[in-house]
Amino acid sequence: MDILKTLTTINACHGPSGDESGVADAIEALARPYADDIRRDVMGNLIVHKKGNGPRIMFAAHMDSIGFIVSFVEEDGKLRFGRLGGLDPYACIYTPVRFKNGVKGVIAADDEADEKKLTLNDLYIDIGAKSREDAEKQVKLGDTAVYDAPALLLGERISSPYLDNRICCVALLMALEEMKGTKNDVYFVFTVQEELGLRGAGPATYGIDPQYGIAVDITVGDEKKVGNCKLGDGAAIKVMDRSVICHPQMVKKLEVLAKEKHIPATLDVLRAGGTDAGAIYSSRGGVCTGGVSVPCRYTHSPVEMVEKKDVEATADLIQAFAEADLD
């Protein structure tokens, strides 16, 4: 599977938190040749099933992204917006965006805004409208927008918006494509609304009732004040983040598999952020939960960056756990 091509296909879809159906459609089309069954639950989580009689394993990668939601239209046509997930004003400013209906705009700041103390309240979306009436012919209150930036191949690295977490959706698809058969009962779940508080993973986990759960997400790379991972280190085996302390059994099993399969890997101790693991581990009577992540720079910006070999290592480790003897 071509990583950049698959990522570009998924990123072309509109998929901020709460409106992920377009992304789900694209992923379903890519997964269907390798799945025994595909369905969506009430929340909109896409559940791809590879049937087996062994232990139930659930891999979860969220398919939603951060985004913008129109909250007010000013007389001069400027669009004020609210946040869908963790927007940073300094990452947003002077960035192109696009709406679901194809309307495009740019993020700009009020003339009187203090650039040293910038907040989202100082920003607006300019779609080129000359008045409120003109703007409301193009968008309406509650419409959502996402970054409108390309995915670029920079040597052996990829820069793109929404690598959090579309790159891990790609990794799940790569593992699904390469699976050679397993007795385990494996569920690849592409979850919704992670950026709004891990809202999709909990109901999906409750419905599947897995014995083992692994959240697949990005982790902070090359930022030693937050975490230890670096781009090029391979798959990051999560020990902890703010949402979860992973089960020691899962950390050990992933470490052993990485060593046995010669998969580049490192441990991931993250002091900020969370993943779907936080919702998975406490479902029902509890789930034996771990995490595998791709180190990523510039998170929640339009130019996030990962290394291709880390994505490949993550996919390989997912496949190895899916096919492992867990009895």
Return mean pLDDT, the chain: 96
- Quote the tokens at residue 227: 């975490």
Q: What is the mean pLDDT of residues 87-107?
A: 97
SS3 276: coil
Instruction: Indicate if the alpha-carbon torsion angle 4, 184, 325, 247 is positive or negative.
Output: positive
| Through-space distance between the first and last CA atoms of the chain, rounded to whole angstroms | 31
Q: What is the mean pLDDT of residues 109-126?
A: 95
Phi first, then psi: give them for residue 289, nearest 5 degrees. -120, 140
Catalytic positions are: 194
- Quote the tokens at residue 135: 């703007």
Q: What is the pTM of this model?
A: 0.96
- The superfamily in CATH containing domain 3-65+161-322 is Zn peptidases (3.40.630.10)
* pLDDT digit string, tens, across residues 60-74: 999 999 999 999 999
The whole-angstrom distance between residue 165's C-alpha and the CA centroid of its chain comes to 2
Q: How far is CA 253 from CA 195, 256, 264, in A?
A: 28, 5, 15
pLDDT value of residue 182: 84
Query: pLDDT confidence of 115, banded at 50, 70, 90?
Result: confident
pLDDT surpassing 80 at residue 75: yes
CB atoms within 10 A of CB 327: 7
- The CATH T-level fold of domain 67-147 is Elongation Factor Tu (Ef-tu); domain 3 (2.40.30)
Q: What is the mean pLDDT of residues 32-50?
A: 97
pLDDT surpassing 80 at residue 313: yes
Residue spans of the domains in the chain: they are 3-65+161-322, 67-147
Q: Where are the beta strands (DSSP E) in the chain?
A: 37-40, 46-50, 56-62, 67-73, 79-84, 96-99, 104-109, 123-126, 144-147, 152-154, 157-160, 185-191, 212-220, 235-241, 244-245, 265-269, 288-296, 304-307
Would you say 313 and 234 are in contact if contact means Cβ atoms under 8 Å apart?
Answer: yes
Q: What is the mean pLDDT of residues 147-152?
A: 96
- Quote the tokens at residue 257: 């598999």
Q: What is the mean pLDDT of residues 294-319?
A: 97
pLDDT value of residue 224: 85
* pLDDT digit string, tens, across residues 162-209: 999 999 999 999 999 999 878 999 999 999 999 999 999 999 999 999
Q: What is the mean pLDDT of residues 153-170?
A: 97
pLDDT value of residue 3: 97
Strands 79-84 and 67-73: antiparallel
